[in-house]
Amino acid sequence: MKVTAAIFRDGDKVLLMRRADDQPLAGEWEYPGGKFEDGEDGSSCLRRELAEELGIDAQIGDLITIAKHTTDSGKAIELHAYEILGYTGEIQLRVHDDMHWVPALEVPAHPQLPADLIVSQAVSTKCAIEYLNSLSDILTELIINRTCYLDFHNALVEQKAKNNHFISWCVSNYYKVTVINLCKLLETMGKRTLQKFVRFWKCPKHYIILEQSSKNAVMEFYDIDTGEIHTESISQGMLDYLASIDFDADLIEIQQMHERLKMLRDKKLVHNDVVKFDVVTPQVLELHKFIDATEKMIISYYGLFRHGITFEDLKKSLRYSNFVLNLK
């Protein structure tokens, strides 16, 4: 049986609804949607179902996942989940008696039907990747800036340039921007920070979500001869990977880096202290170690959600062979 599910999002929350007492599967939580009819594709089916069940005209977005589940009675369910981009009208509870906006990261922990739970795991993973992407945007800026700075630094060293106001201004501003962006990445108060991400997943009730997702992890293989798609469990590998991540140690390291950065920000930058250029530039090297540590953590957390990422291309020198920095 093919059915559809609507994923409504409000920021970092998704909408679950409870089926009314006079409905099949009364009292169960689910994503709103319904069965395919003859000749319908997923989008048209879901739009019709939402008009019938909720009284709205919905704009259907991308397919998020297709969840396959076999009930205890042997019925095979194929649940097609789509993101809802927007809708007109007011939501009416015609076949449901309650609705609840649930944080997307923790929606797999909410009671729900088995097929919907598979969808929730995909939704939670999607939200986690979005969260990490927002952190990666800041990290990418840090790495690109560092590459530019190192090109500048190497040119100064090669040309044996003496410190002057322009060099001090460049180095000082790079230092300030780096401290501020690292603080933004590691602080506790921001909307999305690495520290909040680690704190969330180290919590036992959220860690269980990662364990369950790892147990259900599969890899799909496409057979070019038959055109068939085969799946293979990778649960043990994912469970081993999860066990290899020390959330407590990462959190301690993040807090230590953040405390140091706060001191630099509040005591040095506020008073506009000048960071002078020299061959070693110890203050800047310390920040570069923080960037490396943060990069390592973010890459490891992407792996939890079966996503690989690398920043290596951003570290390549941007200098051309004919580049000369004439500061003598």
Low pLDDT (below 50) residues in the chain? 277-280, 320-322, 328
Q: How far is the C-alpha of 173 from the C-alpha of 168, rounded, in Å?
A: 8
- In the chain, the domains with their CATH numbers are 2-111 (3.90.79.10), 123-315 (no CATH)
CB half-sphere exposure, 74, CA atoms < 13 A: 0
- CB-based contacts of 313, cutoff 8 Å, min separation 6: none
Q: How far is the C-alpha of 157 from the C-alpha of 170, rounded, in Å?
A: 15
Helix axes 194-202, 247-263, angle to 10 degrees: 150
Could you report the per-residue pLDDT of 1-45, keeping only the tens digit for each? Answer: 899 999 999 999 999 999 999 998 899 999 999 999 999 999 999
Could you report the per-residue pLDDT of 99-149, keeping only the tens digit for each? Answer: 999 999 999 999 999 999 999 999 999 999 999 999 999 999 999 999 988
The pTM score is 0.87
